[in-house]
Amino acid sequence: MDTNNNYKDFTEKFYEVEEITDTFKDLQWGSSESQKIRFQYLTKLFEEDTKEISLLDVGCGLAHFYNYISENNFVNVQYSGLDIQPNFIKFASKKFPECDFINKSLFELETKKKYDYVVASGTFNIVLPNTNMDDYLKQNIKKMYELCNKGIAFNLLTTNTPSHDMESINACYNPIDILKLCFGFTNKVNLYHSYKINDFTIVMYK
């Protein structure tokens, strides 16, 4: 990607916390419920796959998605988490030594190793300085798609919301534009736009 490294420094600073509480607050979510309902829709990607699967969580934060899938009996998942924020990765590695954690940005990750499924929750929610956000998102989706054997899922904030309570830091996307973009990769695309007022999820398969 030809964007400079500004996005990395900015993101690292943005998600810096003085003390990790291991709650939704550290990840800048509004509530634990809003974090969990996003997880619920991400699992649609692999919930019918009963085989042993490998999963990469891009922007894993404190690996709360791993908590969620463990609590919901997805015992067949080999979980890896990737995050720019070193303190999150350090914390998550201690919490879940059975998982693999990588302190890199998505663009720094090589595509030699593939994962069955790749997910991202809240990873593309902030406006980055001096960055064309449409292009940034497109490059991220492309990279996630390259990294997967079977499919990817991610959520975004929607422009299609009646209450305009979004702050200027929130990166919002038009779901129809995103759907069109994803059809450029595959026809096997699902859009979920009914579970929350300000968010939507894309699930797509190879």
Ligand X SMILES: C[S@@+](CC[C@H](N)C(=O)[O-])C[C@H]1O[C@@H](n2cnc3c(N)ncnc32)[C@H](O)[C@@H]1O
Residues that bind ligand X (CB under 6 A): 11, 15, 27-28, 35, 58-61, 64, 82-85, 88, 105-106, 121-123, 125
Q: Compare residues 53 and 58 and give the one whose CB is closer to ligand X.
A: 58
Q: Compare residues 119 and 182 and give the one whose CB is closer to ligand X.
A: 119
Phi, then psi, of 84 in degrees rounded to 5: -70, -30
Q: Compare residues 51 and 94 and give the one whose CB is closer to ligand X.
A: 94
Which residue type does 50 have? Answer: T
Q: Compare residues 36 and 150 and give the one whose CB is closer to ligand X.
A: 36
Which residue is listed with tokens 């991610």? 154
Residue 17 tokens read as 């916390």
For the CB of residue 35, give the shortest distance to ligand X in the complex, in Å: 5
**Are the C-beta atoms of residues 113 and 102 closer than 8 Å to each other?**
no
Report DSSP state, residue 132.
-
Q: Compare residues 7 and 50 and give the one whose CB is closer to ligand X.
A: 7
**Are the C-beta atoms of residues 166 and 172 closer than 8 Å to each other?**
yes
C-alpha distances (whole Å) from 147 to each of 10, 99, 142, 155, 169 are 24, 18, 9, 17, 28
For the CB of residue 108, give the shortest distance to ligand X in the complex, in Å: 8
For the CB of residue 91, give the shortest distance to ligand X in the complex, in Å: 11
**Are the C-beta atoms of residues 182 and 200 closer than 8 Å to each other?**
no
For the CB of residue 7, give the shortest distance to ligand X in the complex, in Å: 7
- Which residue is nearest to ligand X, using beta carbons? 59
**Are the C-beta atoms of residues 87 and 16 closer than 8 Å to each other?**
yes
For the CB of residue 59, give the shortest distance to ligand X in the complex, in Å: 3
